């Protein structure tokens, strides 16, 4: 007869940390996958240059920020370095036609979306790509390139803890089906911001510095860190940062994960608070995001969960999260918290149960 072994908290978090590292490592993209994706990017860039010779096609999102899982989709952004250029929606239409003629991709141009994009996909049967590929191409989305770089810098300050936490939460949120903005839950980008907010502003001592509040080493002219109205400054010299910034927080990745779930199931002020990685906890009221009493249902739904975009500060990254969506997400945070608090005999069992 099996007698339940008593697992001490210390023993459990040591084991769970190791399990988290092992779990995440096997979900990283293979070198082959990264090479194929880079080939696809180059091919697409070559084709786009037949329309706009002065253009560059750059990766953003998970393929470029260090938070990429195996078989994740590709986010690409086309920058055009010339004064006169076609509008984004015309480019989407023309590029859509060209790719349809010249490649094997399934092509879906969306010229009239809020951000016009071309959607591309290849079926899983293609050689070298056992899981196919999905890719979005947008135009001139320079803020997305900057927020990708910001997230990448955060990942590089403390890769072992930050990357492991983020990658685990991405897998967890996908397996628990709370990672679809189209169905009222939160995008991966939103979850990453929640993790960074937690590590910068909730943990005491903090695990990460606030990169947007560290001043530059020497003064730089305003036009170099403004994009339109948006201040995109952040401290990005990782070598300097690694020399000067040592976190005095020594918690293991498992302890941080347990505390992350506890914080977002119990402590975060969903009704009044805004999570801002730039400025800490803000009030919905002070941002004019408290429109819960608005008579228009679509607006009323808009600010249930509030996460400020790091640069586009009047933009709520979680605006797609509905009342039901938030209820489900919070329920999942509680479930995860409960499973981890019960300290199952084997840490691996806890992870499997979490992601069931
Ligand atoms: P996944 O591997 O799940 O695709 P990802 O890291 O690529 O995750 P996405 O949510 O696909 O994350 O976001 C990719 C990029 O798109 C982000 O880095 C961000 O620049 C932009 N983005 C995504 N969602 C939003 C949003 N709600 N608001 C603003 N920008 C967003
Ligand atoms: Mg993506």
Both tokens of 234, joined, read 């952040």
pLDDT of 4 strictly over 70:
no
Range of the domain at 107: 31-141
72 CA to centre of ligand 2 in angstroms: 7
Give the model confidence (pLDDT) of 231-256 as tens digits.
Answer: 999 999 999 998 888 999 999 999 99
Residue from 75, 77, 196 whose mutation best tests the ligand 1 pocket (most atoms within 8 A of CB): 75
Q: Whose CA is nearest to atom 3 of ligand 1?
A: 188
Q: Report the pLDDT value the prediction gives residue 198, as an integer from 0 to 100.
A: 98
Q: Report the pLDDT value the prediction gives residue 343, as an integer from 0 to 100.
A: 86
User: What mean pLDDT comes out for the span 337-350?
Assistant: 91
Alpha carbon distance, N-terminus to C-terminus of the chain: 27
61 CA to centre of ligand 1 in angstroms: 5
Cα gap 154→169, rounded to integer Å: 16
User: What mean pLDDT comes out for the span 155-160?
Assistant: 95
C-alpha atoms less than 13 angstroms from C-alpha of 124 in its C-beta half-sphere: 3
Under 8 Å CB-to-CB from 291, ≥6 apart: which residues? 299, 300, 302, 303
Residue whose token pair is 């952040």? 234
Residues 261 and 341 in one domain: yes
Choose the final residue of a domain: 108, 141, 174: 141
Give the model confidence (pLDDT) of 180-220 as tens digits.
Answer: 999 999 999 999 999 999 999 999 999 999 999 999 999 99
Residues 256 and 347 in one domain: yes
Q: Establish if 194 belongs to a structural domain.
A: yes
Cα gap 47→65, rounded to integer Å: 25
Give the CATH number, domain containing residue 112.
3.30.460.10
3-state secondary structure of 273: strand
H or E element in which residue 227 lies:
strand 226-227
Give the CATH number, domain containing residue 184.
1.10.1410.10
Cα gap 297→159, rounded to integer Å: 42
pLDDT of 299 strictly over 60:
yes
pLDDT of 279 strictly over 80:
yes
User: Which atom in ligand 1 lies closest to the alpha carbon of residue 192?
Assistant: 6
Q: Report the pLDDT value the prediction gives residue 62, as an integer from 0 to 100.
A: 94
Q: Report the pLDDT value the prediction gives residue 119, as an integer from 0 to 100.
A: 96
Task: List for the chain the helix, strand, coil content (%; round to 5).
Answer: 50, 15, 40
Q: Among all ligands shown, which has an atom nearest to the Cα of 64? A: 1
User: What mean pLDDT comes out for the span 20-47?
Assistant: 94
Least confident of 129-143, 204-218, 305-319, 325-339: 129-143
Cα gap 171→346, rounded to integer Å: 20
Residues 100 and 56 in one domain: yes
Residue whose token pair is 């189209």? 182
Quote the pTM value: 0.94
CB atoms within 10 A of CB 6: 8
Residue from 61, 135, 165 whose mutation best tests the ligand 1 pocket (most atoms within 8 A of CB): 61
Q: Establish if 224 belongs to a structural domain.
A: no
Q: Report the pLDDT value the prediction gives residue 293, as an integer from 0 to 100.
A: 66
Residues 264 and 186 in one domain: yes
User: What mean pLDDT comes out for the span 219-236?
Assistant: 94
Which long-range contacts link 295-300 to residues 24+ away (Cβ below 8 Å)? none
Cα gap 187→192, rounded to integer Å: 9
User: Which atom in ligand 1 lies closest to the alpha carbon of residue 181?
Assistant: 27
Ligand 1 in reach of 308 Cβ (< 6 A): no
User: What mean pLDDT comes out for the span 263-271?
Assistant: 97
Which is nearest to 156 in space by CA: 238, 212, 59, 247? 238
pLDDT of 2 strictly over 60:
no
Residue whose token pair is 């906890």? 281
Both tokens of 176, joined, read 């628990």
Ligand 1 in reach of 148 Cβ (< 6 A): yes
User: Which atom in ligand 1 lies closest to the alpha carbon of residue 318?
Assistant: 27
Give the model confidence (pLDDT) of 70-106 as tens digits.
Answer: 999 999 999 998 888 888 899 999 999 999 999 999 9
CA torsion, ordered 340, 345, 347, 351, to nearest 10 deg = -60
Q: Whose CA is nearest to atom 23 of ligand 1?
A: 189
Q: Whose CA is nearest to atom 6 of ligand 1?
A: 62
Structural domains counted in the chain? 2
Local confidence band at 131 (pLDDT 50, 70, 90 cut-offs): confident
Both tokens of 180, joined, read 């679809």
Q: Report the pLDDT value the prediction gives residue 126, as an integer from 0 to 100.
A: 65
Choose the final residue of a domain: 87, 113, 141: 141
Give the model confidence (pLDDT) of 315-330 as tens digits.
Answer: 999 999 999 999 999 9
Interface predicted TM-score (ipTM) of this complex, two decimals? 0.94
Choose the final residue of a domain: 91, 112, 141: 141
Residues 47 and 190 in one domain: no
Residues 198 and 321 in one domain: yes
User: What mean pLDDT comes out for the span 43-50?
Assistant: 95
Local confidence band at 114 (pLDDT 50, 70, 90 cut-offs): confident
Which is nearest to 68 in space by CA: 37, 108, 42, 22? 37
CB atoms within 10 A of CB 50: 11
Q: Establish if 18 belongs to a structural domain.
A: no
Share of the chain above pLDDT 70, in %: 94
pLDDT of 20 strictly over 90:
yes
Q: Report the pLDDT value the prediction gives residue 1, as an integer from 0 to 100.
A: 47
Under 8 Å CB-to-CB from 99, ≥6 apart: which residues? 44, 47, 105, 107, 118, 120
CA torsion, ordered 77, 81, 86, 90, to nearest 10 deg = -10
236 CA to centre of ligand 2 in angstroms: 22
Residues 87 and 182 in one domain: no
Q: Are 18 and 60 in contact (CB under 8 A)?
A: no
Both tokens of 130, joined, read 């056992």
User: Which atom in ligand 1 lies closest to the alpha carbon of residue 72?
Assistant: 2
């Amino acid at each position: 007869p099996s007698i339940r072994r008593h697992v001490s908290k210390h023993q459990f978090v040591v084991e769970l940390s190791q399990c988290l590292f092992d779990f995440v490592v096997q979900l990283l993209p293979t070198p082959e996958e990264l090479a194929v994706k880079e080939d696809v990017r180059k091919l697409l860039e070559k084709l786009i240059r037949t329309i706009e010779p002065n253009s560059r096609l750059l990766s953003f999102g998970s393929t470029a920020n260090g938070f990429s899982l195996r078989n994740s989709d590709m986010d690409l952004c086309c920058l055009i370095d010339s004064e006169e250029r076609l509008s984004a929606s015309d480019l989407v239409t023309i590029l859509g036609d060209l790719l349809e003629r010249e490649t094997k991709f399934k092509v879906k141009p969306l010229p009239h979306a809020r951000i016009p994009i071309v959607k591309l996909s290849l079926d899983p049967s293609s050689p070298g790509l056992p899981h196919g590929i999905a890719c979005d191409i947008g135009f001139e989305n320079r803020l997305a390139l900057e927020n990708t770089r910001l997230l990448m810098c955060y990942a590089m300050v403390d890769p072992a803890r930050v990357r492991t936490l983020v990658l685990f939460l991405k897998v967890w949120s996908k397996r628990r089906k709370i990672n679809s903005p189209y169905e009222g839950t939160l995008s991966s980008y939103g979850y990453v911001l929640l993790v960074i907010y937690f590590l910068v502003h909730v943990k005491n001592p903090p695990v990460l510095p606030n990169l947007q509040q560290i001043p530059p080493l020497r003064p730089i002219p305003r036009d170099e860190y403004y994009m339109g109205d948006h201040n995109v400054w952040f401290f990005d010299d990782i070598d300097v940062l690694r020399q000067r910034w040592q976190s005095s927080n020594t918690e293991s990745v498992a302890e941080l994960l347990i505390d992350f779930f506890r914080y977002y199931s119990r402590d975060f002020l969903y009704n009044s608070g805004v999570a801002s990685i730039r400025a800490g906890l803000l009030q919905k009221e002070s941002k004019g995001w408290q429109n819960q009493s608005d008579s228009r249902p679509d607006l009323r739904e808009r600010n249930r969960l509030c996460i400020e975009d790091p640069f586009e500060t009047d933009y709520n990254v979680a605006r797609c999260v509905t009342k039901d969506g938030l209820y489900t997400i919070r329920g999942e945070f509680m479930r995860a918290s409960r499973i981890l608090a019960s300290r199952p005999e084997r840490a691996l069992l806890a992870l499997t149960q979490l992601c069931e």
